[in-house]
Amino acid sequence: DSPQQQPLSFNEQGLMQNGEVMSPQDSKPTAPPLPPPSPPPPGPPEYPRPRLIFHTQLAHGSPTGRIHGFTNVKELYAKIAEVFNISPSEILFCTLNSHKVDMQKLLGGQIGLEDFIFAHVRGETKEVEVTKTEDALGLTITDNGAGYAFIKRIKEGSTIDRLKTVCVGDHIEAINDQSIVGCRHYEVAKMLKEQPRGIPFTLRLVGPKKAFDMIGMRTRAPKSNEGKMVNGKETLRLRSKGSATVQEVQNEFEEQATKKVDDLLESYMGIRDLELATTIVEAGKDKKNPDDFAEALDSVLGDFAFPDVFLFDVWGAIGDVKNGRI
């Protein structure tokens, strides 16, 4: 008898190797490696904007310094302080293109790319006793964006106007020995409004340092285009949150609406703040109704808790400007 042969078995594909059944996995040929993905086509080359460099002086007199790399007012003050070897807390406010205490030239949230920055630092401290004879003191308050509230306007013939030691540009450091450093302008205006009639209270004020007579041609920036943009109609917009951005100057509608809103801030809250007014106009210019406007405003400026009557007046003012009624 011939030796019994072992039956052959086949896998599902009918393959056999050396008498052993191959698994389906063993039968698969090895795939060649995939070629590396081709790089994406090159886009247009990026040309970074030139570094923005601004010229600065101390308003009472100093050499000219150069600053760059700031995105908000606090960082701006820190850069100026570093250049002149002073503490940032010495700076009360800045003006643009004028060393004078000129509230029309006050640095707010925007700096023109060709603007020259003058920093006004702490000068003399004075204490003034005030007695309210009417509800309003006649003060308009603003702040420097870094914790210092100061006087932007004094109404002629008012209680404060009769106190000749109180001046536009004075920083209000304390009310009745209570420090208000770090308070926003609207908080300070509210505290002053709440002072009762007929009861004296004390203001501690810090005036900006006085100039030793003006140095000739001090407001003229050096003839240099280094770090400047080509278009003088652009500004650097400083923001309390997020990075600074370069943008076009306001158009006629935005400029008129911002002025109207700034007037309403003064009449309702006793403050003037062009940066705040600009933010309000930006929130409202493309809204269809006052409810959408109020919601947008609350999302960016909820801390202010604006009264409804103020919001309706602002909405009306923006609409008036938009429709050419102002």
Helix, strand or coil, per DSSP, at residue 207: strand
What is the DSSP code (8-state) at residue 271? B
pLDDT reported for residue 246: 66
Q: How many whole angstroms from its chain centre is CA 303?
A: 16
User: Which residues lie closer than 8 Å to 116 by C-beta, 6 or more apart?
Assistant: 54, 55, 56, 57, 96, 97, 219, 220, 221
Mean pLDDT (whole number) for 85-108? 92
Over residues 260-286, the pLDDT tens digits come to 888 888 888 787 888 888 888 888 888
Encoded amino acid at 10, one letter:
F
pLDDT tier at 44, thresholds 50, 70, 90: low
pLDDT reported for residue 306: 78
How many Å apart are CA 265 and CA 186, to the nearest integer?
9
pLDDT reported for residue 38: 66
Determine contact, residues 57/95, Cβ cutoff 8 Å.
no
What is the DSSP code (8-state) at residue 9? -
User: Which residues lie closer than 8 Å to 152 by C-beta, 6 or more apart?
Assistant: 103, 106, 140, 141, 142, 168, 272
The beta strands (E) that lie in 168-308 are given as 171-175, 178-179, 201-208, 234-237, 245-248
Helix, strand or coil, per DSSP, at residue 67: strand
Which contiguous run of DSSP H or E holds residue 153?
A: strand 149-154
pLDDT reported for residue 41: 63
Q: Is the pLDDT of residue 51 over 80?
A: no
Over residues 183-213, the pLDDT tens digits come to 989 899 999 999 999 999 999 999 999 875 4
- Whole-model pTM over 0.85: no
pLDDT reported for residue 19: 46
Over residues 147-157, the pLDDT tens digits come to 999 999 999 98
Q: Is the pLDDT of residue 135 over 90?
A: no
Instruction: Read off the tokens for 286.
Output: 């493309």
Find where tokens 């007014």 sit.
Answer: 277
Q: DSSP secondary structure string, 87-140?
A: -GGGEEEEEES-SS--GGGB--SEEETT-EEEEEEEEEEEEEEE--SSS---EE
Q: Average the pLDDT over each of 170-179, 212-221, 244-253, 289-298 and give the range with the smallest value.
A: 212-221
Instruction: Read off the tokens for 73.
Output: 């007012």
pLDDT tier at 288, thresholds 50, 70, 90: confident
Q: Is the pLDDT of residue 179 over 90?
A: yes
In SS3 terms, 283-325 reads as: HHCCCCCHHHHHHHHHHHHHHHCCCHHHHHHHHHHHHHHHCCC
Q: Is the pLDDT of residue 11 over 90?
A: no
Mean pLDDT (whole number) for 129-144? 89
Over residues 211-250, the pLDDT tens digits come to 754 333 333 333 333 333 334 467 676 666 566 666 666 6
Neighbouring C-alpha atoms within 13 Å toward the C-beta of 278: 14
